[in-house]
Homo-oligomer: A and B are copies of this chain.
Amino acid sequence: MRDVWVIGIGQTPIGELWDKSLQDLAVDALGAACLDAGVEKPDALYVSNMLAGQLIGQKHLGALIAQGMGWTGIEASAVEAACASGGVAFQAGVRAVASGLMDTVAVCGVEKMTDETSGRTVTAGLATAADADYEVDQGVTFVALNALMMKRYMHEHGVPHRVFGEFSVNAHANGAANPNAMFQHAITVDTYLNAPMIAPPINLYDSSPICDGAAAVILASREVAQNLSQVVPVRVLADSTATDCLSLHGRRNPIFLDAARASAFRAYEQAGIGPKDIDLFEVHDAFTIMSTLSLEASGFAEPGQGTRLATEGEIRIGGRVPICTMGGLKARGHPVGATGVYEIVDVVTQLRGQAGANQVPDATIGMAQNIGGTGATVVTHILALE
């Protein structure tokens, strides 16, 4: 297998982007990534998206977006693993280059959640990540599934709701300095405590927003990358996906993410490192409970201890394991099928030293973990400065 480098990154701001179509967003992000990489036309394009079929009646996004970029003719396709789609698309790109089949590859995550022109609601769309027969048909929404996990976690481990607020405070503090974040304002613990309830115990600030956005990366083999002089070399050290039972009730333990454990530890093994070597960790904080469970499964805290990393300030920039360094899903935003690619863009931004006020000092190894459903698909990537 060949070494794979990330040679270009691009993103749109995240928000309610009423004046941009899905194709517009993808083209904006890919255009920025190509400019960054100094690449005009890659050998292939892998797209991640979750909801366009249901919300705007458009599938077949590989060909559509290739056409939008003027890349008609190239190999292009789309992948889907609910909210882990972005991580899976990045993985498809890594493999195309690693196998020797492609020299340069583009990966684009794109989601337009504010359009519902096809008559389906976002809530119904998000629920397709869960088990249609055994969960959704019983009337449980995707937020409600996470609420069940959070409630059980609080009960089992004796953790009060208020401590989860530190995850939201951290995400918003970092989002405040990210010009691409949806929410560019800090909050306090009081903001969190006074937030409206969504599905108890999950309140508004436990939850990531519904939004639009696209992110893109350009990958290349070492040989191609070395001929592009402006590139700060960032290499993919590890690339691992694991799955678990789709429905929550079928899991070994509903408040421990077995798939995240398997995915993260396979990634550590591939990279030849451990959790202590990770300088920053882009977690999948769709809900504050997910940040907690991800940190525990990935070896940064024992079960039941994840929130202590937050309350003790260890998740902040400068702490032991900075998370959501550009605002995370909570403040930067969570355009579901695009999120995994945004996480990679954030890690690369940090490793290149381009994170501005949010820069993690001396960051050389970063990890991104993208989670589908309530933990049924988990994709972990580790990247490092070459």
Contacts and interface: CB of A to CB of B under 8 A. Distances in A.
A243 B377 CA distance: 29
Contact of A59 (B61, B96, B128, B245): B128
B376 A60 contact: yes
A335 to B, nearest CB: 16
A262 to B, nearest CB: 6
Nearest to A124: B57
A259 interface: yes
The residue in A71, A243, A258, A377 that gathers the most chain B C-beta atoms within 10 A of its C-beta is A243
Interface in A98-121: 98-101, 120
A81 B74 CA distance: 14
A191 interface: no
Interface stretch (A12-20, A130-138, A176-184): A130-138
Mostly helix, strand, loop or mixed at chain A's interface?
Answer: mixed
Contacts of A96: 95
**How many copies of this protein are present in the complex?**
2
Interface string A122-154: 001101111111001000000000000000000
Contacts of A66: 243
Contacts of A100: 1, 99
B99 A1 contact: yes
Contacts of A372: 60, 63
Contacts of A92: 92
Interface residues of A, number: 65
A383 interface: no
Interface string A242-268: 111110001000000011001000000
B246 A67 contact: yes
10 contacts: A59-B128, A60-B80, A60-B377, A62-B81, A63-B245, A63-B373, A67-B376, A73-B242, A77-B80, A77-B84
